[in-house]
Structure 1
Amino acid sequence: MLIASGVLLTPSLIPSVQAQALPNLGDTEREELSPAMERRLGEQIMRQIRRNRDYLDDAPTQEYLNNLGNDLLAVRPEARGEAQYDYFFFVVRDPMLNAFALPGGFIGTHTGLILAAQNESEVAGVMAHEIGHVAQRHIARMLGKQRQDMLIPLAGMILGALAASSSPNAGVGIMMGSQGLAMQRQLNFSREAEREADRIGLDIMRDAGYETSGMINFFGRLQQATRGYNDSMPAYLRSHPLTTERIADIQARTRDQPYRQRADGFDFPVIQARVRVLQTNSAQGLFEAEEVFKRQVQQNTRTAIVAGNYGLAMVALRRGAPDRAQTFIDQARAVLKDGAPKTGNAALTSLAIEVRLAARQANEAVAEAEIARKQFPLSRGMALQYADALMAANRADDAVSFLRDQTSLYRSEPQLYDRLAKGYAAQGRQALQHMALAENYALRGSLPAAIDQLGIARRAPDATFYDQSIIDAREREMKAQRMEELQREKDGTL
């Protein structure tokens, strides 16, 4: 995966096919990189990306992108492939205009791209393009006849490209350590692969009800932006540029389609405001964001006023002024009241809970969170905030009861086990606390730490016979998984 005209995309060296038919791969390619192996590679890379400080682990932003991505996938379910990939869309804190696809259905977007988009259709166009790369399994098809031991260097190459956006020297070091230079020729994108992803993306956008002109407009601005890039980036981080021919091809495909105008709701501008604040870590950046929000509030449109007040509330919260943040939230809600969907705005509701917690208004936070759970029953972020509010209100028993139910339904969410451990700690239940921490570490890919936590749980004075039985069983499972990991590392395979 390399930077192609400002967008990180999945590599390919394969011929073009029609977007309407997502082909299956031949037996030879399946033998080398099956869909299950492709997913495992993506998960391995994601475990490392999640440890990066620029990985934006922000529930409202992730939920917005995943809702948008799943809307796109709903009109093209075959894009999930025979393995039925559960796509995951995430954000990386970086001002560059980038997006990238990883094997197995993981798609990342840089904060800079979200901020540069002028409407939701432009973001949808980039995401649909990346879905096209995953749907065509470009990495699998590129590596179809390569040995499996080339996959680990590929992971290093991808991580190196990410690191290089903020620290070129660090990126080079990672890639050289992963034999990235040896794979350079294989990682260059073919123009046919890009056109293929363009065609699939356009079809997905059109069927999902987005403006296909969004892809054209955004790629055009992307082309303008890349002209200003200097040559300091190493040559092996660059791939085929976004060509004029590609843009012309997209225009030709949309020329005969009826124009479709799609008005954005409140969700996109609000998330843009949130990302603008989350992208910066400096006082100057916060000041510049505040100026943008002040100008938005002065505009005579409801969406701009709501987004501007939301952003100002975010700035106030970052500056440690929750009371001032609450004032801006109230102003945003007053404007939103008559024009928003009945379910409200998820990001604004989440921020309201966050502000209540920061102001140490625990009971008010619980009340906000209880309403939010009814409005957004599928929101995982709201569920976590509800648990946080219960803990802040010194309702550890209620929090533990709620979290135990949640972990039975969502077994793969480490955040639930992290909060459950805190709940057990508040109750003084040491064995259960460390058992929950073990599950948290295991889900985050740190099996040695998980096994250590099980050892601590075994020695806890309140560990019952039943607890000991669970600990013994989980320890055997985790040690077996760890042995498999070590064997794969030794063999240089997935």
Structure 2
Amino acid sequence: MPYAPAAAAQNLPTLGDTSRETLSPLMERKLGEEVMHDIRRDPDYMTDAPLLEYLNNFGWTLVNARPDVRGEAGFDFFFFAVRDPVLNAFALPGGFIGVHSGLLLAAQSESELASVLAHEIGHVAQRHIARMVGSQKQDSMIALASMLLGLLTMRGSPDAGAAVMMGGTGLAMQRQLNFSRDAEREADRIGLSILDAGGFDTSGMVVFFGRLQTASRNYSDAVPPYLLTHPLTTERIADIEARIREQRYRQHADSLDFQLIRARVRVLQDDTELGRREAQFFFETQLKQNTKQQIVAAKYGMAFLAFKQEDYGKAEALLEEAMAAAAPARKNLVLTDLGIEIMLATKREAEALKLVEQAQLQYPLSRGLAHQYARVLIASKRLDEATKYLREQAQLYRQDADVQDLLAQAYSAQGKRALQHMALAESYVLTGSVPAALDQLRIARNAPDAGFYDQSMIDARERELQARWKEELQASKDR
């Protein structure tokens, strides 16, 4: 994730008296992290590295266009995707912003996608959720987290969401989270200012809302999830249109990455046989549009689809066609990522290592490439290099659970059982599963190669986690 500078000025308006808030920025972030721990365990949470990297690079471009949206709390925004065909996006407390795969596919331009993300950034900047739940006691974190998860569960099944939020206050709290008209207009205004500062076409917001209204007709009597928490009114659209008329029109050229990621999401959204056939048909139709980006995206989509079907020869041939069509941008990170994956799958570790090292020179901050580099080192049996590199990565990126998982793989290949399970314990901690982490530490303690220093490290970490788990259990009882 790109470095985000601290806010230079706090010139965003505030709704209400912040001194009266009972949900502090620290508690707001903690609440968001509580919800994210559960979301990350959901099988529909999309862990795809190129997708996450694109969303966060794109999202931080928007944040950096108006750095004051980070506010006094200096929230570190995190953008992620959920596998769901329903058009939806949502902001969680503390700077976590999610989008559904269906929305990514429905957005016809980067300006449309930017309008959605910028609007959600506006909600976070104004701390709308924090203000709405601010009257709740700070010791009701689990209830608040359950409420938020319930709303997210209602993506395609309102009954499932209601089950999560069962209790006398469930429906009342759901209504609390439905953003008010004033809050929506506030988020729209901030979103438009972000779009303008970032060089995007501000009309993308109106176009997206128009598409959302059209899509809402397909929901029969049910209200689309996005409209459930983001009430859309004719007055609101008119207000956006009036603001757009005051701004200078600018045309924003979509990046190649936008088209490639949408092709990738189309394959990832539905891995059934029917879903794959529909994706193939879409890409074949896309090829007929005969524009450069569409051709590259279609070829790439078919290559990625072939890769997922383990037809690596076909995948490599199609990828080469995509790269040839993309020239001179054939060194694109998304294209390169698939090339490395194909080489790993076909046991060509030396070629993969050369390619990933070249790519890292061009994209030194890419987390996806960092993970691929470690995987290539492990596959190449260069285990000492892998563990050294991953330990350095673990120090630099302390919240990266994937690094700990890779470190565990490297230790396992070396036969270092104690260190393997210690690394797995840290991975579980980062994904919010303290009991599983404690289990891994117990396994590490009993490993035959656990030395005195390892035992000391295990004991110290176990005491920390046991105290943390005790606090969590006590807090759960209090609530």
1:143-158 matches, within 5 Å, as 143-158=133-148
* Residue aligning to 1:9: none
Tell me, what secondary structure is at the counterpart of 1:101? strand
Distance in 2, Cα, partners of 1:375 & 1:25: 46
Which residue of structure 1 lines up, in the alignment, with residue 102 of structure 2? Answer: 112
Could you tell me whether the CA contact under 8 Å between 2:12 and 2:69 is conserved in 1?
Answer: no
Q: Higher mean Cα deviation, 218-227 or 104-113?
A: 218-227
Q: Within 1, Cα distance between the matches of 2:76 and 2:391?
A: 24
Matched residue type, 1:62: L
Tell me the distance in 2 between the aligned counterparts of 1:293 and 1:454: 48
| Cα offset, 1:25, TM superposition | 6.2
User: 1:21 matched to which residue of 2?
Assistant: 12
Question: 2:184, 2:231 within 8 Å by CA — same for their partners in 1?
Answer: no
Q: 2:444 aligns with which of 451, 457, 462?
A: 457
State the Cα deviation string for residues 403-426 of structure 1 (Å, max 9, x = none): 112112112111111111111111
Matching residue of 1:194: 184
Work out whether residues 87 and 212 of structure 2, in 8 Å CA contact, stay in contact via their aligned partners in 1: yes
CA RMSD of aligned residues (A): 2.1
Matched, 1:73 2:60: no
SS at match of 2:165: helix
Alignment of 1:57-456 (within 5 A): 57-176=47-166, 179-232=169-222, 238-239=228-229, 241-338=231-328, 340=329, 344-456=331-443
1:234 positional shift: 11
Q: Deviations over 1:305-343 (max 9, x none)?
A: 1111110011101111011000111011112222x28xx
One-letter amino acid of the structure 1 residue matched with residue 434 of structure 2: L
- The amino acid of 2:457's aligned partner reads I
Q: Distance in 2 between matches of 1:235 and 1:460?
A: 49
SS in 2 for 1:184: helix
State the alpha-carbon separation in 1 of the partners of residues 227 and 114 from structure 2. 25
Distance 1:102 1:178, change over 3 A: farther
Q: Taking structure 1 as reference, are residues 322 and 45 closer, same or farther at Cα in structure 2, changes over 3 Å only?
A: same
Q: How many residues align?
A: 470
2:357 match: secondary structure? helix
1:240: Cα distance to partner?
Answer: 6.0
Q: Distance in 2 between matches of 1:438 and 1:184?
A: 35
Please give the secondary structure, in 2, of the residue aligned with 1:353.
helix
For residues 122 and 182 of structure 1, the distance between their equivalents in structure 2, rounded to whole angstroms, comes to: 32
Give me the whole-angstrom Cα distance separating, in 1, the residues matched to 2:229 and 2:395. 45
- Identity %, equivalent residues: 58
Partner Cα separation in structure 2 for residue 336 and residue 223 of structure 1: 35
Structure 1 position 45 matched with structure 2 position 35: yes
- One-letter identity of the residue aligned with 2:477: K
Distance 1:312 1:69 in 2: 27
**Deviation sequence 1:433-489 (CA, Å, 0-9, x none):** 111111111111111111121122122221222212211221121112112212221
Deviation at 1:108, TM superposition (A): 0.2
Q: Call closer, same or farther: CA 1:151–1:230 in 2, change over 3 Å.
A: farther
Q: For residue 199 of structure 1, report the CA deviation from its aligned partner.
A: 0.4
What amino acid maps onto 1:164 in structure 2?
Answer: M
Amino acid at match of 2:279: A
Distance 1:411 1:451, change over 3 A: same
Deviation (angstroms), 1:144: 2.3
Q: Residue 117 and residue 383 in structure 1: after superposition, are their counterparts in 2 closer, same or farther (change >3 A)?
A: same
